[in-house]
Amino acid sequence: MQCPKCHAPMHTYNRNGVQIEQCSGCRGIFLDYGELEALTRLEAQWSQPAPPPPPAPQAYPAAPPAPAWGAPHGGHGGHGHYGHQRHKSFGHMLFSS
Amino acid sequence: MTADTDTGADAPALISALADRAKAAAHPRTPTAPCSCPSAPLADRRDATVVRHDATVAKAHAPDTDPAALTLRVTTAARLPDLLLPPLTPDTATLHDRLVTFWPYGVPVDPDDPDAAPWEAAATLLARLHRTHVPAGLPPMRGPAKAARALDRLQATLRTTPGTTAHTAARPVLDAWAALPAWARAQAPMPGPPALCHGDLHLGQLVRHPAPDGPWKLIDVDDLGAGVPAWDLARPAAWYACGLLPPDEWTRFLTAYRRAGGPAVPADGDPWTALDVPARALTVQTAARAVTKALAADRPLDEVEQALVDACARMPSVAAGLPRPPRSAPGFPD
């Protein structure tokens, strides 16, 4: 997109979820329909007292139960043998009697 | 897919004969005319040799297969075409002293993309199978018998393997096996009301039919029969317990099974009251196969195989049926 005033290329920025086009030449800012209102709303929120802190992070959902003879780290957390990539040996096991 | 050539049998002659039979079944009107369709072996294992020709698959069953039992199992598949891949014909043929059955080709799960595993479809098919009335005369599901066979092979391999290292590695597997209830070792009838079971579930037992994108169906009826339905859930359960199958995949499988009304586990609460013994048995069976293969190749166990043996080693200290309480992820206090 080119600046309607000086025809230099415009770059898109995201400010608090609002897309803003700014000219790389004259630094002018182009707002789409409704974006000025969105910025105004954001500004109003900014001047209000700080919102209550977000709720404390929930613990990850508990892993499904596993038998006590299972792997010590198996079934939860990611210390099992699955990791990011399946072990080749397990890949074969998935398809074997 | 690549052919599974675990233990090539009396391969070339049988494969060639199977290809001819599959070709004749694929082109019944012109069985002797030359055709350009390729034939390809899909599997050549100790217990089965499978050859595909065009849309037809011919399977030579294990040498010790009982003909009457196989007919009952194949007939059951013909009667449940929504759950089990139906045979092209319920009749069996004989070739090179092997019983042969004929099936339509279905598209398997891609072995190179196990992340695409249809866990929900597998679980739903099993739940529906388990809720199906057991056909009269159908023999027992062969899961425990197959586990016992894996242990027999391990024992036989140990007898021919000198040195104490091999025996030390196998000890936990043998001990865990000995501690299983008699029914799980095929030494006693299976308990509880019998359900119609597949008997050998793994990801190689699912195909899309009609190819290429029809619904998933279960294949391989050799172990189909009446028995403890939790056995069919026990291989994924064992993989999960041993830390091999990620929790989310296990949850998807178990949740889909319960949603479909599967009777193998309680509808709510702890599933391990029902899964514990079968999952132990499948862990021991898989460990036995792994140790046998490692001994035959004179190589150490890999990480995955060691995880199975380690689980076997922990079994005797834990009474059957006692679950581990669910725990939250590291970093968060319980």
The answer to which of B20-24, B107-111, B178-182, B249-253 has the lowest mean pLDDT is: B20-24
**Could you say which residues from 21 to 80 on chain A have a Cβ atom under 8 Å away from some Cβ of chain B?**
59-60, 62-71, 73-80
Higher pLDDT, B42 or B85: B85
Q: How far is B126 from chain A (nearest CA, A)?
A: 17
Contacts of A96 in chain B (CB under 8 A): 4, 6, 202, 204, 289
For residue B230, give Cα distances in angstroms to A46, B6, B268. Answer: 58, 27, 15
Contacts of B303 in chain A (CB under 8 A): 81, 87, 89
The confidence score (pLDDT) of residue A80 equals 59
Check if the beta carbon of residue A8 is closer than 8 Å to that of residue A24. Answer: yes
Top mean pLDDT of A34-38, B27-31, B45-49, B278-282 is at: B278-282
What the block records as the tokens of B187 is 């030494």
Of residues B4, B304, B324, nearest to A66 (C-beta)? B324
Of residues B280, B311, B328, nearest to A71 (C-beta)? B311
The confidence score (pLDDT) of residue B5 equals 46
Computed from CA positions of residues A41, A42, A47, A52, in that sequence, does the dihedral angle turn out positive or negative?
positive
Q: How far apart are CA B228 and CA B166, in angstroms?
A: 33
Percent above pLDDT 90 for chain B: 75
Q: How far apart are CA B147 and CA A54, in angstroms?
A: 53
Percent above pLDDT 70 for chain B: 92
Give the mean pLDDT of B11-15.
83
Confidence of residue B334 (pLDDT cuts 50, 70, 90): very low
- CATH topology classification for B114-317: Aminoglycoside 3'-phosphotransferase; Chain: A, domain 2 (3.90.1200)
Q: What is the mean pLDDT of chain B?
A: 91
Check if the beta carbon of residue B289 is closer than 8 Å to that of residue B152. Answer: no
* Contact yes or no for A71 and B310 at CB 8 A: yes
Judge whether residue B66 has pLDDT over 80: yes
Q: How far apart are CA B33 and CA B263, in angstroms?
A: 50
Of residues A68, A80, A93, nearest to B243 (C-beta)? A80
The answer to which of B1-10, B54-63, B235-244 has the lowest mean pLDDT is: B1-10
Q: How far apart are CA A68 and CA B315, in angstroms?
A: 8
Higher pLDDT, A38 or B330: A38
Q: How far apart are CA A16 and CA A42, in angstroms?
A: 8
Confidence of residue B62 (pLDDT cuts 50, 70, 90): very high
The confidence score (pLDDT) of residue A26 equals 77
Stretch (H or E) spanning B43: strand B39-44
* Contact yes or no for A89 and B302 at CB 8 A: yes
The confidence score (pLDDT) of residue B171 equals 96
- Condensed to tens digits (0 to 9), the pLDDT of residues B135-160 reads 999 999 999 999 999 999 999 999 99
What are the phi and psi torsion angles at A89 (to 5°)? -65, -40
The confidence score (pLDDT) of residue B280 equals 98
B312-331 in b/e form (b: 16+ CB < 10 A) is bbbbeebebeebbeeebeee
Computed from CA positions of residues B30, B33, B39, B45, in that sequence, does the dihedral angle turn out positive or negative?
positive
Q: What is the mean pLDDT of chain A?
A: 72
Which of A76, A84, A86, A90 should be substituted to probe chain B, the one whose Cβ sees the most B Cβ atoms within 10 Å? Answer: A90
> Which CATH architecture is the domain B11-105 placed in?
2-Layer Sandwich (3.30)
The confidence score (pLDDT) of residue B319 equals 77
Give the mean pLDDT of A1-22.
77
Domain assignments of chain B as residue spans, ordered by start: 11-105, 114-317
Confidence of residue A82 (pLDDT cuts 50, 70, 90): low
Give the mean pLDDT of B188-205.
97
Judge whether residue B189 has pLDDT over 70: yes
The confidence score (pLDDT) of residue A74 equals 44
Higher pLDDT, B9 or B206: B206
Q: How far apart are CA B214 and CA B259, in angstroms?
A: 22
CA angle B11, B290, B58 (to 5 degrees): 30
The confidence score (pLDDT) of residue B323 equals 47
The confidence score (pLDDT) of residue B26 equals 85
Confidence of residue B103 (pLDDT cuts 50, 70, 90): very high
Confidence of residue B213 (pLDDT cuts 50, 70, 90): very high
**Alpha helix positions (H), chain B:** 11-26, 67-79, 119-130, 143-159, 164-178, 230-241, 247-259, 272-296, 303-314
β-bridge partners, B218: B84, B206
Q: How far apart are CA B321 and CA B253, in angstroms?
A: 20
Give the mean pLDDT of B297-308.
94
